[in-house]
Homo-oligomer: A and B are copies of this chain.
Amino acid sequence: MASVQDISVSAVINLISALVFLLAFAIARLQPINDRVYFPKWYLKGIRASPRSSGSFVNKFVNLDLRTYIRFLNWMPAALKMPEQELISHAGLDSAVYIRIYLLGLKIFVPITLLSFAVLVPVNWTSGETLDHIEDLTFSNIDKLSISNIPSGSKRFWAHVVMAYVYTFWTLYILYKEYKKISTMRLDFLASEKRRPDQFTVLVRNVPPDPDESVSKHVEHFFRVNHSDHYLTQQVVYNANKLAKLVEKKKSNHNWLTYYQTKYERDPEKKQKIKTGFWGLCGKSVDAIDYYTTEIEKLTKEEDEEREKVKSEPNAIVSAAFVSFNSRWGAAVCAQTQQSRNSTIWLTEWAPEPRDVYWDNLSIPYIQLSVRRLLMAVALFFLTFFFMIPIGFVQAFASIDGIRKVLPFLKPLIDMDFVKSFVQGFLPGIVLKIFLILLPMILMIMSKIEGFTSLSSLDRRSAAKYHLFVIVNVFFGSIITGAAFEQLDRFLHQSPTEIPKTIGVTLPMKATFFITFIMVDGWAGIAAEILRLVPLIMFHIKNTFLVKTEHDREEAMDPGSLNFSVSEPRLQLYFLLGLVYAVVTPILLPFIIIFFAFSYMVFRHQIINVYDQKYESGASFWPDVNRRILIGLVISHLLLIGLLSTKDASQSTPLLIVLTVLTIWFHKFCKGRFESVFVKFPLQDAVVKDTVERTTEPNFNLKEYLQDAYLHPVLKGVDFEVSKEIDDEEKNSLVATKRTSRRSSKTVSNGTSEDQKTVGEIQLVF
């Protein structure tokens, strides 16, 4: 058990490291050379001109204006200044709503903290006889402020029960208000959006095969009959996975070509040689520039052939299509209704926006989809509860003895003292760390196997899996030590009333651990996020070796994006901790408040200046966020029940069960009240938008507008004119406003800027 002193020391250490990160960031961001690392969003928007294009030579790389260093924290107020409406139009609704989660944390926990310190801390503190008398347990001052300080069977527990009620109702009230606010924001956002292809389009999956007609004709006939007044056009989906791979490969070869060309230009004397064999380690040695030039030529030819093949061969068309309607009303109707009497064919849903489409998953038959989900559910169960078994196996292998046995030729090496201690001390930890770093990728692959059709739904789905993992392995895993499968086994042999007791009783003792966790993961981790160390290094490497044109430099920027599938479940852990410890050990709450406030500022800054979202789903993740906070609330009730029944206060159990039931009911209520806003599109809004548009632009050619919106990105952009235009303007990046407007108009005409970039990549090769 850590004392207040220990916690203070830890707090100071973590505060210092957070400060170091912040200082490093404050200095690094002022250097012109890093401008594209810390402000890529503005470059992508075309509003910011490179500071390197003016000024003296040194000024191009290092900021020598000392006055700017004085106000090194001035990014904080700046981040908070942008009003929400502007933020939405600047960064999209997804991002704007995402940072509202942190704000939500503050809204929930600031009043709870104040109340806790006003009521529960005095109640716990003044009941101070118990712990002084117990000698066998080491209790610290922190425990004097926690529920542990109250003797069993004391009447004082009523204060905790009443507070549990107050906190629960407050949380539900805030959640309700927030859900309402966000559903309004979403609807307003959708209503205010400009014309977009996905507003008129429905994704049709599981088109049944027809012996007499092509998929394209079949789809057209079906919708012409069943939506006769509204059908406009359709776009079949090509299986362009092979083509996409070729494009990818060509891009990589092209990067290598640029790399060797740059090297050659710097040192024309030295011939650049590479080996053609496995990973460049063996094989014939050839001239690098020649090699890549011919490779690229070869790939270009292959690519052209493949592209022709895809476009002409009927087998390349998968059993899915994007069907567009002449009004939003028509699309809304088609997306929400059942088309065929067989509910596994002609499945319709809102089309994701073009850049959000996950093309590989569009043509999975219903029964296969169903089997895949079963397998993945089973896999998730084993991954969550039994991941320690293979990890343990690898760790055993990564031990001294394991290496000696399997790789005997390494024996002299590992017998060296330094290597030995490294292997023994770090390797097992590193194996686990590597697994944890890989985990989000594994979960994403699992979600992909499950067959979701849009990147946004893949993200949401992975987040759900990760959330389960975090709750089981981080939260419960920290409270009850031992691997998850051991816990599982124990719980299977305990009664349902025993489990909350087992966990509840250890709860107060783990408070100090979680406080440290919050400081390390929450405070220092978030400060590291703003420094963007990895993108910083990557940008400078790329900048040195791959950048020749201004366009290349734009390519080298890695703005990154909010990684919803990882950051949201982690964030949920803080809600869970706050809700659980609000009644038990209120001293933990200020740490959580600092986390939320600090994160809010950092992410607001990142969203404004750095991140470039890959898609815009209109905050469709909010139902998940709401549900997970409610899960946290239910867990907090159950653990409190357990804790109080070990304290001879089990007469409070029915009262707390009422809270649990109420919380679950609130979830159902919210689901019925708001969730459809995030799933369906109300016809009333569709009619309003249709009417407005028909009045203002009566002669707009919608069919032409939608023509190629849902073409696979690699099948687009075979015309050279557009690409040249891009290059021209890319160089002339000072003409900011003009470029922005052109960009947005291009986005409309060609789908998305993501496609645009890909197009640019393909064409650069020629």
Interface size class of A (residues with CB under 8 A): 35 or more
Partner of A672, one of B229, B329, B370, B676: B370
Is A341 touching B226 in the complex (CB atoms < 8 A)?
A: no
CB neighbours (8 Å) of A685 from chain B are 341
**How would you classify the secondary structure of chain A's contact residues: helix, strand, loop or mixed?**
helix
A334 shortest CB reach to chain B, Å: 8
User: Mind listing 19 A-B residue pairs with CB under 8 Å?
Assistant: A187-B341, A222-B684, A225-B687, A226-B687, A227-B683, A229-B229, A338-B681, A338-B682, A341-B677, A343-B672, A343-B673, A343-B682, A366-B672, A367-B669, A374-B661, A378-B661, A493-B495, A495-B495, A496-B496
Is the Cβ of B337 less than 8 Å from the Cβ of A684?
no
Does A680 lie within 8 Å of B493, measured CB to CB? no
**Does A89 touch B at the CB level, under 8 Å?**
no
User: Using a CB-CB cutoff of 8 Å, which residues 363-386 of chain A contact chain B?
Assistant: 366-367, 370, 374, 378
CA of A261 to CA of B685, assembled, Å: 65
Tell me if A226 and B673 are in contact (CB < 8 A). Answer: no
Name the residue of chain B whose CB is nearest to the CB of A230: B229
Taking a contact as CB atoms under 8 Å apart, the answer to whether B339 and A336 are in contact is: no
In the assembled complex, A333 has its CB within 8 A of some CB on chain B: yes
- Are A344 and B673 in touch, CB under 8 angstroms? yes
A341 proximity list for chain B (CB < 8 A)? 187, 677, 682, 684-685
Complex CA gap A495/B492 in Å reads: 6
- The answer, yes or no, to whether A561 is at the interface (CB within 8 Å) is no
A497 at the interface (CB under 8 A from B): yes
Is residue A674 contacting chain B, with contact meaning CB distance below 8 A?
Answer: yes
A208 to B: closest C-beta gap in Å: 12
Is A173 in the interface zone, CB < 8 Å from B? no
| Interface flag for A93 (CB, 8 Å) | no
| Binary contact track A715-739/B, C-beta < 8 Å → 1, others 0 | 0000000000000000000000000
- Residue among A367, A370, A661 with max Cβ neighbours from chain B (10 Å): A370
Interface centre among A378, A494, A674, A684 (most CB of B within 10 A): A684
Q: Of B337, B343, B378, B673, which one neighbours A337 at CB under 8 angstroms?
A: B337
**Minimum CB–CB distance for A15 against chain B, Å:** 45
Residues of B within 8 A of A546 (CB): none
Convert A331-368 into 0s and 1s, putting 1 for each residue whose CB lies closer than 8 angstroms to a CB of B.
01100111111011010000000000000000000110
Q: Which 10 A-B pairs have the closest CB atoms?
A: A343-B676, A338-B680, A336-B337, A374-B665, A493-B495, A341-B682, A370-B669, A338-B682, A492-B497, A187-B341
Which residues of chain B come closer than 8 Å to A187, judged between CB atoms?
341
Q: In this assembly, does A668 line the interface, its C-beta being within 8 Å of a C-beta of chain B?
A: yes
Selected contact of A336 from candidates B336, B340, B682, CB within 8 Å: B336
A525 to B761, CA, bound (A): 79
The distance in angstroms between the C-alpha atoms of A650 and B635, with both chains bound, is 32
- A337, B669: Cβ atoms closer than 8 Å: no
Return chain B residues, CB-CB under 8 Å to A495: 491-495, 498
A346: nearest chain-B partner, CB-CB: B684
Of all chain B residues, which has the CB nearest A229?
B229
Closest to A669 in B: B370
Contact assessment for B337 and A680 in the assembled complex, using a CB-CB cutoff below 8 Å:
yes
**Closest B residue to A668 using CB positions:** B370
Q: Are B343 and A332 in contact (CB under 8 A)?
A: no
**Nearest CB to that of A492 among chain B residues?**
B497
* Contact across chains for B370 and A683 when beta carbons are under 8 A apart: no
Which chain A residues (658-705) contact chain B, with CB distance < 8 Å? 661, 665, 668-669, 672-677, 680-685, 687
A323 vs chain B, min Cβ distance (A): 13
Type the 1/0 row for A182-222, where 1 means its CB is closer than 8 Å to any CB of B: 00000100000000000000000000000000000000001
The residue on B at minimum CB distance from A334 is B683
Q: Which of A338, A374, A680 has the most CB of B within 10 A?
A: A338
Q: Name the residue on B nearest A227 (C-beta).
A: B683
Contacting residues, chain B, for A661 (C-beta < 8 A): 374, 378
B336 touches A332 (CB 8 A): no
> A225 CA to B690 CA in the complex, in Å?
12
Residues of the B chain whose Cβ atoms lie less than 8 Å from the Cβ of A337: 332-333, 336-337, 680, 683
Complex interface: chain B residues within 8 A of A494 (CB): 495
Give the complex CA separation of A395 and B337 in angstroms. Answer: 55
Q: How far is the CA of A329 from the CA of B344 in the complex (A)?
A: 20
Chain B residue at minimal CB-CB distance from A691: B225
Give the residue name and chain of the B residue nearest to A490 (CB). B495
Residues on B with beta carbons closer than 8 Å to the beta carbon of A665: 370, 374
Per the bound structure, the CA–CA distance linking A229 and B340 in Å amounts to: 22
Check if B340 sits within 8 Å of A684, measured CB to CB: yes
Contact code string A374-405 (vs B, CB < 8 Å = 1, else 0)? 10001000000000000000000000000000
Which of B333, B669, B681 makes the CB contact (< 8 A) with A333? B333
CA distance A689 to B680 in the complex (A): 27
Query: A674 vs B682: C-alpha distance in the bound complex, in angstroms?
Result: 26
Would B229 and A343 count as touching, CB distance under 8 A? Answer: no
The answer on a CB contact under 8 Å between B370 and A682 is no
Cα(A498)–Cα(B675), bound, Å: 39
| A225 surroundings in chain B (CB, below 8 A) | 684, 687
> Does A338 contact B370, Cβ atoms closer than 8 Å?
no
Q: How far is it, in angstroms, between the C-alpha of A227 and the C-alpha of B378 when the chains are bound?
A: 45
Cα distance A333–B661 in the bound complex, in angstroms: 36
Docked CA distance A496–B496 (Å): 7
In the complex, residue of chain B having the shortest beta-carbon distance to the beta carbon of A222: B684
Closest chain B residue to A333, Cβ basis: B333
B residues less than 8 Å from A226 (CB atoms): 329, 683-684, 687
- Report how far A228 CA is from B230 CA in the complex, Å: 13
Known pairs A343-B682, A344-B672; list 12 more (Cβ under 8 Å): A187-B341, A228-B687, A333-B333, A336-B338, A337-B683, A338-B676, A338-B683, A343-B673, A370-B668, A370-B672, A374-B661, A492-B495
Expressed in whole angstroms, the minimum distance between the Cβ of A642 and any Cβ of chain B is 13
A426 to B: closest C-beta gap in Å: 37
